[in-house]
Amino acid sequence: MSELLESLWQHDTAFRSDLFAGKVALVCGGGSGIGRATAVLFARLGATVVITGRTQEKLDAVVDFAVKKGARMHGFAAQLREHEQVVTLFEKIEAEVGVPDLLVNSAGGQFPQDAIDLSPKGWNAVITNNLNNTWFVMQRAAQRWRDLKRGGSIVNVIVVLERGMPGVAHTQAARAGIVGAMRTVAVEWAPLGIRVNCVAPGLTASEGLDVYPPEAVAEFPLANPFKRPGTPMEIAESCVFLSAPAASFITGETLTVDGGGKLWGELWLAGRPEWYRTP
């Protein structure tokens, strides 16, 4: 783990080291994968960072590393599907750290299953875990910014939507909901000085991929024309760009970072069905 964190810390970046000095960045899902890379990058660029997720130990590992590097980072656990926990989380952050200026929502996930077999409980779990949690957090941030008469930036990490995604219909539906809400509030919240964008990663090498069956994983290199997964830092750089002053005229947009996967590639997250085997 410390080797992985060290590689994130040393990774080349296009951004200047004091870009976010004086800013507080909240990264949901910051204990692993894309969120962790984003949190480490914000910390390297001078932000005070708060990471959240359900598992305190995962958060502690990242915080301990960052603090040893001289960065300012805090880890507060929360179940973001519960609105009350989101409200409490913001109260705690404001009391102990300060009001976040920047929000990156990278908390989420799903399980692979053919859509026809999804149970109502499974459907609801994934909708709640990807649509409700993101909405609760982005709305709470916007409410606080409105109340305090200050702006902010929100970046939601979603999935690529253009071609659908066999094996994860539930998550496609949830993330399409986020895009609809994002485009709507980009207009409603512009007068408040709030920008809202999404990053849509393609297949990315993170712990999150552990939930997929071996036959699906074996074909993951076919997901894009580079025939390799992206790295969490390749996604993090886009999250940070959209949070930065360089993106001050960008709102309501989705930046796809998928190595061209939406143009060419195949991804069968629950395994390739017989019909789609050649010839």
Ligand X SMILES: CCCCCCC/C=C/C(=O)SCCNC(=O)CCNC(=O)[C@H](O)C(C)(C)COP(=O)(O)OP(=O)(O)OC[C@H]1O[C@@H](n2cnc3c(N)ncnc32)[C@H](O)[C@@H]1OP(=O)(O)O
Ligand Y SMILES: NC(=O)C1=CN([C@@H]2O[C@H](COP(=O)(O)OP(=O)(O)OC[C@H]3O[C@@H](n4cnc5c(N)ncnc54)[C@H](OP(=O)(O)O)[C@@H]3O)[C@@H](O)[C@H]2O)C=CC1
The reply to whether omega before 213 is within 30° of 0 (cis) is: no
| DSSP-assigned beta bridge partners for residue 27 | 51, 104
Alpha carbon distance 31, 8 (integer Å): 13
Binder to ligand X among 209, 222, 250, 255 (CB under 6 A)?
Answer: 209
According to DSSP, residue 20 is labeled T
Q: Check if the beta carbon of residue 25 is closer than 8 Å to that of residue 49.
A: yes
Dihedral of alpha carbons 229, 253, 208, 268, sign: negative
Q: Quick one: 157 or 186, whose CB is closer to ligand Y?
A: 157
- Cβ neighbors of 163 (< 8 A, separation 6 or more) are 262
Residue 143 in the binding site for ligand Y (CB under 6 A): no
Q: For ligand X, which residue of 47, 182, 203, 235 counts as binding (CB under 6 A)?
A: 203
Subset of 255-274 contacting ligand X (CB under 6 A): 258, 261, 267
| Nearest to 66, CA basis, from 49, 90, 87, 83 | 49
Residues between 101 and 120 that touch ligand Y (CB under 6 A): 106-109
198 binds, among ligand Y, ligand X, none (CB under 5 to 8 A by kind): none
Q: Which of 203, 233, 240, 242 binds ligand Y (CB under 6 A)?
A: 203
Contacts to ligand X from residues 97-156, by CB under 6 A: 109-111, 113, 119, 121-122, 125-126, 129
For ligand Y, which residue of 113, 204, 243, 256 counts as binding (CB under 6 A)? Answer: 204
Q: Tell me if 238 contacts ligand Y by CB under 6 A.
A: no
Extract the runs of DSSP E, i.e. beta strands, from the chain.
24-28, 48-52, 72-75, 102-105, 152-157, 194-201, 254-257
When asked if residue 202 is in the footprint of ligand X (CB under 6 A), the reply is yes
What is the DSSP code string of 54-82?
Answer: S-HHHHHHHHHHHHHTT-EEEE----TTS
Task: Select the binding partner of residue 79 from ligand X, ligand Y, none (C-beta < 5 to 8 A, by kind).
Answer: ligand Y
Q: Which residues bind ligand X (CB under 6 A)?
A: 109-111, 113, 119, 121-122, 125-126, 129, 159-160, 202-203, 206, 208-209, 211, 223, 258, 261, 267
Q: Which residues bind ligand Y (CB under 6 A)?
A: 29, 31-35, 53-55, 58, 78-81, 106-109, 129, 133, 157, 159, 201, 203-204, 206-209
